[in-house]
Amino acid sequence: MAKSTGSSEFDLYRPSEEHDMLRDAVRSLAEAKIGPHAAAVDEEARFPQEALDALTASDLHAVHVPEQYGGTGADALATVIVIEEVARVCASSSLIPAVNKLGSLPLILSGSEELKTKYLGPLAKGDAMFSYCLSEPDAGSDAAGMKTRAVRDGDSYVLNGVKRWITNAGVSEYYTVMAVTDPGKRSKGISAFVVEKSDPGVSFGAPEKKLGIKGSPTREVYLDNVRIPADRMIGAEGTGFATAMQTLDHTRVTIAAQALGIAQGALDYAKGYVQERKQFGKPIAEFQGVQFMLADMAMKLEAARQLTYAAAAKSERVDSDLTFFGAAAKCYASDAAMEITTDAVQLLGGYGYTRDYPVERMMRDAKITQIYEGTNQVQRIVMARNLPK
């Protein structure tokens, strides 16, 4: 039985003081340097360069990179906190630390020392960003149905195909590309590679015209006879699909973090608004119907946060039930964020429906968290196949 040992019981089941200090620091930076540009980034559908500059200057652009490769070596919960606080003011900007982790995690999990040293150093320094190329026009939820081919030719592989919905495509210098090396073997015939933007034969489609996260470019990546050295393969041939899935086990937690941040931003804004807005002679915050809505929003958000932080701890420890928890946190937090942001628009009434207030952007941004890194229907498949024992 765990015994009370004086004041230390207060440290049970809560983030450490360092985590709390990190949150305060990221919140200040995000409010000062990222939030003020969020509306324009959305309106103009432009890359949030101010956010990249501010995050890089404070070493917050890729906090997950281990210290031995020049990174800050933040743990999974610290990474969640960074993404959450950036998403609270600008969801598009939070895709910088999130997708840097997604793109480089296959390398961290399964790459050779040489590859890690070569590619993680520039990422840690802020000289390069990383993207993750799994999906294709006809292979979304059925990721193993991909068609992109990688054919061995002497000391090289030659890649041909189209990757779709690639976050930060064109801006990133490096791409982890999953491609078929043995077409007869479905998931066991898929391998992972590092492709560089400057490799001859790499090009990009037009930016997708999206409902939300408009500041984060989403483009196709075309691979037209892209010849790369064979040692750019991540792990052994045929292990690319398992690496891709293991990666998502960890990074679905970061999408949960993004959802938490978006929802917190909407709740904070709505909470302030209802105290200012007067109808029937008093602030609408004094009506019980409004109070009930705020209570439900805060309750859902806190439940999502607890699940996400538990999943982050499992990600850090690489617990055997991480697959379930990663999917559950992403699914639950994104559904909560959709409800909370929709309620925030409702609390602002007609004003909430206009672009003069930030909550409609937050509602549009929340929607993608139910779709990417696996739709919430796929998360339920993953959970059902990995129910806790």
Binding residue count for ligand CAA, defined by CB under 6 A: 24
Shortest distance in whole angstroms from residue 352 CB to ligand CAA? 27
378 binds ligand CAA (CB under 6 A): yes
Residues 102/129, Cβ–Cβ less than 8 Å:
no
| Residue sitting closest to ligand CAA (CB) | 374
Selected catalytic residue, list 84, 136, 316, 373:
373
Smallest distance from the beta carbon of 219 to ligand CAA, in angstroms?
11
**Helix 240-276 with 288-317: angle, nearest 10 deg:** 150
* Residues 331-370 as x/- pattern, contact with ligand CAA by CB under 6 A: ----------------------------------------
Closest CA to 226 of 164, 168, 177: 177
- The distance of closest approach from Cβ of residue 153 to ligand CAA in the complex, given in angstroms and rounded to an integer, is 27
Between the alpha carbon of residue 147 and those of residues 106, 137, 144, the distances in Å are 20, 10, 9
Q: Does 383 bind ligand CAA (CB under 6 A)?
A: no
CA atoms within 13 A on the CB side of 207: 17
Give the x/- contact pattern for ligand CAA in 117-156, rule: CB under 6 A. ---------------x-xx-----x-xx------------
What x/- string results for residues 188 through 227 when contact with ligand CAA is judged by CB under 6 A? ----------------------------------------
**Residue whose structure tokens are 């939070």:** 94
Beta bridge partners, 222, equal 162, 203
Q: What angle do CA 19, 23, 25 make, to 5 degrees?
A: 115
Q: Are 25 and 63 in contact (CB under 8 A)?
A: no
The kind and range of the H/E element at 238 are none
Minimum CB distance to ligand CAA smaller for 279 or for 320: 320
For ligand CAA, the closer CB: 187 or 346: 187
Contact 286, 112 (CB under 8 A): no
Query: What's the DSSP call for residue 207?
Result: P
Among 75, 136, 249, 335, binds ligand CAA (CB under 6 A): 249
Active-site annotation holds for 373: yes
The answer to whether the Cα torsion of 80, 82, 88, 90 is positive or negative is negative
Do 88 and 262 meet the contact criterion of CB atoms below 8 Å apart? yes
Which residues 45-104 are close enough to bind ligand CAA by CB under 6 A? Answer: 99, 102
From 245, 298, 310, 383, residue interacting with ligand CAA (rule: CB under 6 A): 245
User: In the set 47, 241, 309, 332, which binds ligand CAA (CB under 6 A)?
Assistant: 241
Site string for ligand CAA, 279-318 (x = CB under 6 A): ----------------------------------------
Rounded Cα distance, 166 and 148, in Å: 14
C-alpha 308/C-alpha 326 separation (Å) is 8
Note whether 155 and 184 are within 8 A (CB). no
Chain residues in the site for ligand CAA (CB under 6 A):
99, 102, 132, 134-135, 141, 143-144, 165, 167, 187, 241-242, 245-246, 248-249, 323, 372-374, 378, 381-382
Q: Which residues are catalytic?
A: 373
